[in-house]
Homo-oligomer: A and B are copies of this chain.
Amino acid sequence: MSRPAPLTEAAIIERFFVRPARRRDVLLGIGDDAAVTRLAAGHDLVTAADAIFEGVHFPAGTPARAIGHRCLAVNLSDLAAMGAEPLWATLALSLPAPDSAWLREFARGFFALADAWRVALIGGDTVRGPLGMSVTVHGRVRRGRYVPRSTARPGDGLYVTGHPGDAVAGRLLLERSRGGRAAAQLRQRFLYPQPRLTEGRLLVPLASAMMDVSDGLHDDAGKLLRASGLGADLDAAAIPLSPALRAVAGMPRGRLLALTGGDDYELLFTVPARREPLLARAAQRWPCGIARLGTVSARPGLRWRLDGRRYRFADSTFRHFAPGRR
C-alpha cells in the first residue's frame, strides 16, 4: 500500500491549484517565480486586492467550498464595480494545517466561480498560518472606459442591484439550521455571493459613478457620495427587499439589515437623468433587477425618508478596528 505524499507547499499547489490556464493571454502560469500575461491592445488593466479571514469575514465552520467561492467573489465584485472584464487571479492561502478534504472543497468553490467567468489562476503562495486568503484579481476595460466612484453629479438617480440585506440575514441564520426555504435561500446568498460582472460592464456607458456594496447600503452610499463631494435624498421604502428577507425578518427589520448589514456585493451606482430611460430598458433583462433609491443632491449627507417623514435608524455598520466593535 502506498502512502500519500506529504502535503508540502509544493504538493498542495500541484494537487489542488495547478490547472491548464485555458486562456491564450496567459504566457506563463503557476510554477515559475512570477506569471507572465498579455493584455490585449487598446485596454487598461484593472486590479483589485481583498483579503478575508476566518472570524472576521466568515464565521468558523463556514464550508470550505463557500470560502473558496467567497475569496474570489469579493474581488470579482470590485472589478464589476469598475465595469471591468475579469482575466486573471493570484491567491495567497494561509492554512493552520493542510487537510486534503478541505483543500479539495476549497478549490472546487474557487474554480467553479473562476470557470464561470473565465478567470485563470496564475500564481500565489501557500503558507502555514491562520485560515485566510488574500486574492488579487486582474481585469480589463477598453482604454479609459471604467466607472470611478467620484464622478456622480447632482440630479443623478441612485440605484442598487439585487436585494441588499439578504446576505447579512443569511449570515445571522448560519448558526441555526431551521427556518425553512426562505432561511436556506438567505444562507445561500451569504455563502455564495454572485458578483454582478455582467451588469457592471453594461453600466459602463450608463453610470456616472459606481461601487459595490460590501459594508451596508447606508455606509456605502455615504462613501459613494462623499467621494463626489455630494449627498442624496433617498426613499427607504424603495430599498428592494427580497421575499425571503421579508418572510424571515419582516419589513422594518429587513430594511435595517439592508441599510446596515453588509456582505451584499451588489452594485450601487448613479445615472444621469437623461440616461435613466436607457437604464430602465437595459435592466429589464437583468435577473438581479435594480431599484432607484433616490436622487443625488449638491447638499452633503444622506437624507433617508419613509412615508413622507425623515427615517432614523441606529447605524450598526461593521467597521474594521472601529472602537467598541468586534
- The chain A residues found within 8 Å of chain B, CB to CB, are 6-10, 12, 27-28, 31-39, 41, 44-53, 55-57, 78-79, 81-82, 84, 88, 90-92, 94-95, 97-98, 122-130, 132, 134, 136, 138-139, 141, 143-144, 146, 148-150, 210-212, 227, 319-323
Residues of B with C-beta under 8 A to A31: 149, 227
* CB-CB nearest in chain B for A41: B41
* CB-CB nearest in chain B for A324: B6
How far in angstroms is the closest Cβ of chain B from A74? 10
Out of B150, B320, B322, name the residue touching A32 (CB < 8 Å): B150
B148 touches A47 (CB 8 A): no
Most buried by B among A27, A98, A134, A211: A134
How many copies of this chain are found per oligomer?
A: 2
A45 touches B38 (CB 8 A): yes
A127 touches B48 (CB 8 A): no
A82 touches B34 (CB 8 A): yes
A129 touches B126 (CB 8 A): no
Residues of B with C-beta under 8 A to A37: 44-45, 47
Taken together as a complex, chains A and B put the C-alpha atoms of A128 and B210 apart, in Å, by 26
The contact sample of 22 A-B pairs, CB cut-off 8 A, is: A7-B321, A9-B319, A12-B321, A32-B211, A32-B227, A33-B79, A33-B82, A34-B81, A36-B82, A36-B141, A37-B47, A38-B45, A47-B90, A47-B136, A47-B138, A51-B94, A51-B134, A53-B129, A56-B127, A57-B127, A92-B134, A98-B321
Residues of B with C-beta under 8 A to A128: 53, 56, 320-321
Residues of B with C-beta under 8 A to A88: 47
B34 touches A123 (CB 8 A): no
Residues of B with C-beta under 8 A to A52: 127
Residues of B with C-beta under 8 A to A53: 94, 127-129
Taken together as a complex, chains A and B put the C-alpha atoms of A32 and B130 apart, in Å, by 28
How far in angstroms is the closest Cβ of chain B from A59? 14
Out of B35, B41, B82, B319, name the residue touching A47 (CB < 8 Å): B35
A33 touches B92 (CB 8 A): no
Out of B56, B122, B124, B148, name the residue touching A28 (CB < 8 Å): B148
How far in angstroms is the closest Cβ of chain B from A121? 10
B36 touches A44 (CB 8 A): yes
* CB-CB nearest in chain B for A97: B321
Residues of B with C-beta under 8 A to A132: 94, 129
* CB-CB nearest in chain B for A124: B49
B321 touches A9 (CB 8 A): yes
Residues of B with C-beta under 8 A to A47: 34-37, 88, 90, 122-123, 136, 138
Residues of B with C-beta under 8 A to A136: 47, 49, 90, 136
Taken together as a complex, chains A and B put the C-alpha atoms of A35 and B46 apart, in Å, by 5
Taken together as a complex, chains A and B put the C-alpha atoms of A79 and B123 apart, in Å, by 13
